[in-house]
Structure 1
Amino acid sequence: MKLIPLGLLLLCAVFTFAQSNNAPSTYDTHEIAITGYLQTQYQRAQSAGILSFSGGDFAKNSKDRFMIRRGRLKIDRADKYSSIVFQIDATQNGVQLMDAFIQLHRPTSKALLFTAGLFNRPFGHSIVYSSGYRDFPERARVFQTLMPRERDLGAMLTFRPDGKFHFLTAEVAVINGSGHSARDYDSKKDIVGNLGFKFDSLANKKLHIGFGGSIYQGSVRSDTESYFSSNSSGFVKNTSPDYVDWNAKRNYYGGNLQLQYDNTFGTTLFKAEYIAGTQPGVASSSSITGPVASQSFAAQPATDLYLRPFSGYYLWLTQQIAKSRFTALLAYDSYDPNSDLKETQIGAPGSNTTAGDIKFNTLGYGMACLINSRMKLTVYNEHVVNDPTQLAGYLEDLKDDVFTVRLQYRW
C-alpha cells in the first residue's frame, strides 16, 4: 500500500451543498430511524437495444420501458459515541446492499469521525451527493464508468472542525478498490483523499460557494504476461513473464466547484467537476461491449490490461422559475476514455483500438416540479453524441438519446 505525501493530501477536496450518503439521517441521539426514497420512471430511447448510462442498457428489441430506478430504504441509529447506517436498494432487478457502516466519534464533538464498512468513496462532489437530492436523473458518464455504484469497502477518517475553521472538510479513506463487490482480487489497497471548502455567508447570505479537489491512488492487478500502453497512434503491446501479478496504476485527480445564488427570480445553482488520470481497462469483446471496456471492475480482469489516459467533466445548471415549484435543468458532460487519440484514429489497422476508446458528449435538458415537500416530477432528455470512427458499428453518431419521465417520493 502506498502512502500519499502530506502535500498531496492538502490539495485534495470534496464539498457538498446538501445531503451526503456517508452519514445517518441525523447525528442527534436517536433510536432506529427509517428514511428512503422511491424513483419510478418511464423512458424512451432513440433506438432499440442501445447501451446507455441513463439507468442501464435497453433490452435487445426494446426502446421504451417502465422501471424502478431506485428504491432505497435506509435504517440508522445514533448515540453519543457512534452511529450505524444500513441501506438497501430494491428494484425490479432484486434487492442489493448499498450502505453498511459504523461511525465513531467523541461524545462531545462530531468534528472527527471514523467510518468502517461499505460507504461512498469520498471523491469529488457528485459521488457522495445523494441521488434522492440530485436535480439530474443520473451522475455523469465519467463517474459511472470509473466508480460504478459509487461504493467501496474500507475505513475512512473525516475531519470537520468546529469554530473558525468550520468551512473545512478533510477525508482520507483506505478501500479495497474492487468497488461494491465484497471480494478484493489483490492484496493492495487504494487510497482516496479529499479536502474541501464551503462558504455560506457571502453577499448578505445570498451567495454560497464550495470548491475543492480530489485524489485517488490505486492499482489493478494483471493476470497475464501482456498489457497494452497508449500512445498518439494507438496501443503498443508489452510482453514479459514479470507482468503476471504486476499492478498497473489507477490514479485520478479531480477538482469541483459549486455556486448558489438566491436571487429575486429564484435560486440559481451551478456545479462543475473535472477529473483526469490513468484508468486500467480491457479491450472490447463479445462479452465486454463498447464503453464498458474502460470501466472499473469488481472482479479480476481475465484478459490483457489496456492503460488509458482519460479525462472527463460535467457542467450542471439549475434555475428556479420565479420562485415557483418549477426548476429548469441544463447539463453538459464529456468523457474521453483515451485522451491520446482522435476519434478518426479509432479502428485504424494495427492500432489495437476498440470501442472502449470512444469519446462521448451528452447534452441534457428538462424541467423538475416539486409537487410537495416529498414528491418531485422530473422530465428530462439526454442528447448523446459520439464522433465517427473507423470501427464497425461506430462509423457515425449512434442514435442513443434517452427521454425520461421520473416520479420520486422521499420519506
Structure 2
Amino acid sequence: MKRYLLLLPLLFPLAARSQSNNAPSTYDPHEIAITGYLQTQYQRAQSEGILSFSGGDFSKNSRDRFIIRRGRLKIDRVDKYSSIVFQIDATQNGVQLMDAFIQLYRPTSKDLIFTAGLFNRPFGHSIVYSSGFRDFPERARVFQTLMPRERDIGAMISYHPKNIFKFITADLALVSGSGYAARDYDSKKDVIGNLAFKFDSLANKKLHIGFGGSVYKGSVRNDTESYYTFEGDQYVKHSGAENVGWNAKRDYFGGNLQLQYDNTFGKTIFKAEYIGGTQPGVASSPSINGPMASQSFSAQPTTDLYLRPFSGYYLWLTQQIAKSKFTALLAYDAYDPNRKLKESDIGLKSNTSAGDIKFSTLGYGLTYVLNTRVKITLYNEHVVNDPTSLPGYTEDLKDDVFTARLQYRW
C-alpha cells in the first residue's frame, strides 16, 4: 500500500503550487512529483522574417507560424532537510535543460535556504515568476535582452522568515555570469542581490502589496585591444594591448511594485518594474542582427565591446471582468539600450548602430480560464521604434505580432 501512496503525486496536481521557478512544486515533504505545462500557439506577424521578442525571430519568408512556445516538465522531491528540482523544456526545436538545483535547509525551518545548480537569477519580480502563471505571453524586452533564458549556474542563499518578519524575502547569489547552459569564459563571477517585501490581506483582506529592489554586479571579459565607452554624446574608442583580458563592468539596479485589489467587479492587478545601469554589448553587424547587439553573452564576445548606459521598464495591468473567467490585459514596456543617445543621431554619430535603438511595445489582449488546467490567451503587440539615419531603420519597422495561445498545466 505504501508503494502506491508514493505514486499519488504523479497522478494528481499538488495542492500548493509554487509560482516561483526557484522552488519545488511545494515544500511539503513528498517523493517524486511531476508537474509542468504546455503552451502551443499560432502567431501572425505584420511582416515576413521580422526580428521578434515574442517567441523568437520569424523565418525569412514567413509571417505566420505554429509553435510550441514552452513544453515544461518539472520533477522534484522534498524531504525534511533538502529538495531537488529538475526541469526540461521540450519544443519543436528539441529538448533543453531549464532547471537543475539542490536546496538545503534546517529540518525545523525553511527560513534559510541554500541553493546550488542551474536556477533563475534572483533579480526583480518577473524573472523568477513562472511563465506558467504569468498572464502576459512574454517577459518584457529589456529582461529578455539582459537576462536571456533567465537562468544562470551558481549558488544562492535565500532568507524568508516565518515569524513577525514573514513579509521579507532576501536573496544573495553568486553566478557564472555566462547565463543559461553556458561555460564560464573567464574567472570572474557575478553577484546578484534581491530584497522583496510582500503584505497580504490589507484593507479588509482586499488589498495585496509587494515591492522590492535588486542589484546585479558583474563583468564581461574583453577579448580585443579596443573597447568603446559613451561619453558626452558620442562613443569614445580606447585602444591598447593592455585592454585584452580587461573586464568591462556589467552593473544593473532595479525596483519593482505589485498591487492587487479584490473588488466587487473582479480582481485588479498592476505590476511595474524598472531596471537601469551599464550593459557591455557589441556593434550591430550582419552576424549580430539589430537589437541583439546589446544582448548579454553566453560565450566570449570576439569583437570590440561597447559599454552602453541603458534603461528599461514595463507596466502591466490585468482586470478580471465581472468576476468571470475572462481577464483583460494591457501592457506597455520600453527598452533604451543607450539612454544618452538621441534616436536622430543614430547613423550620424560615429560607431552608432542598430544596437542603440530604443523599442517600445504596447500590448493588449484577453485571457479565458476554462478550468484550473486550461487557459486561452489572445494578445496583440504593437512594437514601435523611432526613425534613425541607419539603413533599414529610417522609419518604424512593421513588426507587430498577434498571438493566440492554448495552455495546459498539470
Bucket of the pairwise TM-score, normalised by the shorter protein = over 0.9
1:395 counterpart letter in structure 2: T
2:181 counterpart letter in structure 1: S
TM-superposed CA distance for 1:338, in Å, is 0.3
- CA distance in 2: counterparts of 1:75 and 1:173, whole angstroms: 23
Q: What is aligned with 1:72?
A: 72
1:409 matches 2:403: no
- CA distance in 1: counterparts of 2:312 and 2:254, whole angstroms: 9
Q: Deviations over 1:230-286 (max 9, x none)?
A: 134331111011110000000000000000000000000000000000000000111
Tell me if the contact between 2:319 and 2:327 (Cα under 8 Å) persists in the aligned partners: yes
Gaps of 5+ in 1: 1-16
TM-superposed CA distance for 1:333, in Å, is 0.1
Q: What is aligned with 1:371?
A: 370
Tell me if the contact between 1:18 and 1:133 (Cα under 8 Å) persists in the aligned partners: no
1:382 counterpart letter in structure 2: E
Deviates more, 1:232-241 or 1:112-121: 232-241
Q: Deviations over 1:1-27 (max 9, x none)?
A: xxxxxxxxxxxxxxxx97100000111
For 1:12-411, what aligned pairs fall within 5 Å after superposition? 19-348=19-348, 350-411=349-410
Gaps of 5+ in 2: 1-16
1:330 counterpart letter in structure 2: L
1:242 counterpart letter in structure 2: E
- CA distance in 2: counterparts of 1:67 and 1:234, whole angstroms: 41
Q: Deviations over 1:67-125 (max 9, x none)?
A: 00000000000000000000000000000000000000000001000000000000000
- CA distance in 2: counterparts of 1:394 and 1:84, whole angstroms: 47
1:247 counterpart letter in structure 2: N
Secondary structure of the corresponding residue to residue 144 of structure 1: helix
- CA distance in 2: counterparts of 1:253 and 1:361, whole angstroms: 20
**Greater than 2 Å deviation, 4+ residue runs:** 231-234
TM-superposed CA distance for 1:351, in Å, is 1.8
Identity of aligned residues (%): 79
Q: Deviations over 1:288-314 (max 9, x none)?
A: 010000000100000000000000000
Tell me if the contact between 1:233 and 1:351 (Cα under 8 Å) persists in the aligned partners: no
- CA distance in 2: counterparts of 1:346 and 1:403, whole angstroms: 29
- CA distance in 2: counterparts of 1:18 and 1:169, whole angstroms: 15
Secondary structure of the corresponding residue to residue 125 of structure 1: coil
TM-superposed CA distance for 1:191, in Å, is 0.2
- CA distance in 2: counterparts of 1:88 and 1:144, whole angstroms: 19
- CA distance in 1: counterparts of 2:182 and 2:402, whole angstroms: 34
- CA distance in 1: counterparts of 2:200 and 2:101, whole angstroms: 30
Tell me if the contact between 1:18 and 1:129 (Cα under 8 Å) persists in the aligned partners: no
Tell me if the contact between 2:38 and 2:409 (Cα under 8 Å) persists in the aligned partners: yes
Q: Which has the higher contact order (CA 8 A, sep 6+)?
A: 1
1:309 counterpart letter in structure 2: P
TM-superposed CA distance for 1:375, in Å, is 0.1
Secondary structure of the corresponding residue to residue 99 of structure 1: strand
Tell me if the contact between 1:123 and 1:215 (Cα under 8 Å) persists in the aligned partners: yes
Q: Deviations over 1:165-196 (max 9, x none)?
A: 00000000000000013300000000000111
1:328 counterpart letter in structure 2: A
Tell me if the contact between 2:182 and 2:299 (Cα under 8 Å) persists in the aligned partners: no
- CA distance in 1: counterparts of 2:185 and 2:133, whole angstroms: 34
Secondary structure of the corresponding residue to residue 182 of structure 2: coil
- CA distance in 2: counterparts of 1:376 and 1:264, whole angstroms: 23
Tell me if the contact between 2:97 and 2:181 (Cα under 8 Å) persists in the aligned partners: no
Secondary structure of the corresponding residue to residue 24 of structure 2: coil
- CA distance in 2: counterparts of 1:181 and 1:83, whole angstroms: 21
- CA distance in 2: counterparts of 1:49 and 1:376, whole angstroms: 29
2:127 counterpart letter in structure 1: I
- CA distance in 2: counterparts of 1:166 and 1:204, whole angstroms: 19
Secondary structure of the corresponding residue to residue 145 of structure 1: helix
Deviates more, 1:361-370 or 1:178-187: 178-187
- CA distance in 1: counterparts of 2:164 and 2:123, whole angstroms: 25
Secondary structure of the corresponding residue to residue 212 of structure 2: strand
Tell me if the contact between 1:103 and 1:115 (Cα under 8 Å) persists in the aligned partners: yes
Secondary structure of the corresponding residue to residue 291 of structure 2: helix
TM-superposed CA distance for 1:162, in Å, is 1.4
Q: What is aligned with 1:7?
A: none
Q: Deviations over 1:13-65 (max 9, x none)?
A: xxxx9710000011111000000000000000000000000000000000010
- CA distance in 1: counterparts of 2:146 and 2:170, whole angstroms: 22
- CA distance in 1: counterparts of 2:328 and 2:182, whole angstroms: 40
Tell me if the contact between 1:42 and 1:64 (Cα under 8 Å) persists in the aligned partners: yes
